[in-house]
């Protein structure tokens, strides 16, 4: 794919992705062919805003983790009452990064499928 | 950069960058080549309205500063319990500006890094020509 198309994709979704994986994303997006571009734009990341709000208001029940697709951690939070409440405070700290990390992994899987 | 992409950029990130810097950002974007376009698009811009909620609910222990990447200030805020509530209140009022300025800082960092890489590249080419 040419660089302007990669830039368009990153402008749309870059804020929801992990910065550390950005170089890898650019590399793997370059290998995707141009005619797959419309399919690629259909990909939807999980919103950091929603994940953060869920963590702030229902974090002790693991709502943020269920939303970003980390069911195992979500259940863990649910049954230990948010890791004895302190865990959910830690979650608030890490949730933006966790969402971005999960989105990055999901995107890499999606690109591999497109190839 | 194409006009279409610039409009898309401002539609997505316009509210995440300080309004008084919009003209400067637009002029940088207009002169950007392909490599710079990709590296500007790859910057992570924080959403100010998310940060308002974080600052209100978890600002007293410094998590808002921590999320923005200013972990030194975050720890200081944690130790002093949000500056005994005063710092927390000031940050709560200012958090939109703080987030926008942080985003702008990241934007300029990407721009300056690109300039540096190009200068290095040019120096190498000049040295090769001199030989």
Q: Which positions ≥6 away from A85 have C-beta within 8 Å?
A: A60
B88 neighbors B59 (Cβ within 8 angstroms)? yes
- Return d(Cα B131, Cα B127) in angstroms, integer: 6
Size of interface A-B (CB pairs under 8 A): 82
Asked if A58 has any chain B CB less than 8 Å from its own CB, the reply is no
Q: A89 vs B63: CB contact, 8 Å cut-off?
A: yes
B117: which 2 tokens? 């890489």
* The pLDDT value given to residue A82: 59
pLDDT in tens, B42-99: 888 888 888 898 888 888 888 888 888 888 888 888 888 878 888 888 888 989 999 9
> A42 — phi, psi (to 5°)?
-75, -15
Exposed e or buried b per residue across A76-95, where buried means at least 16 C-beta atoms within 10 angstroms of its C-beta: ebeeeebbeeebbbebbbeb
Q: Flag whether the ipTM exceeds 0.90.
A: no
- Contacting residues of B for A18, CB less than 8 Å apart: 44
């Amino acid at each position: 794919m040419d660089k302007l198309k990669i830039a368009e994709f990153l402008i749309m979704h870059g804020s929801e992705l992990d910065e550390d994986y950005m170089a890898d994303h650019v590399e793997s997006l370059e290998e995707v062919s141009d005619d797959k571009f419309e399919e690629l734009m259909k990909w939807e990341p999980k919103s950091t805003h929603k994940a953060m709000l869920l963590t702030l208001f229902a974090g002790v029940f693991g709502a943020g983790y269920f939303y970003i697709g980390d069911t195992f951690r979500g259940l863990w939070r649910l049954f230990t009452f948010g890791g004895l409440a302190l865990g959910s405070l830690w979650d608030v700290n890490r949730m933006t990064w966790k969402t971005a990390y999960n989105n990055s992994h999901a995107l890499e899987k999606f690109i591999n499928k497109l190839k | 950069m194409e006009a279409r992409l610039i409009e898309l950029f401002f539609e997505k990130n316009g509210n995440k960058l300080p309004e008084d810097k919009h003209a400067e950002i637009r002029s940088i974007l207009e002169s950007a080549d392909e490599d710079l376009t990709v590296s500007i698009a790859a910057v992570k811009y924080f959403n100010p309205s998310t940060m308002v909620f974080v600052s209100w609910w978890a600002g007293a222990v410094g998590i808002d500063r921590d999320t923005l990447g200013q972990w030194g200030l975050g720890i200081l805020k944690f130790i002093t319990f949000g500056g005994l509530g005063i710092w927390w209140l000031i940050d709560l009022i200012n958090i939109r500006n703080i987030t926008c300025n942080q985003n702008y800082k990241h934007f300029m960092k990407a721009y300056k890094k690109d300039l540096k890489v190009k200068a290095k590249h040019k120096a190498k080419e000049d040295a090769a020509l001199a030989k």
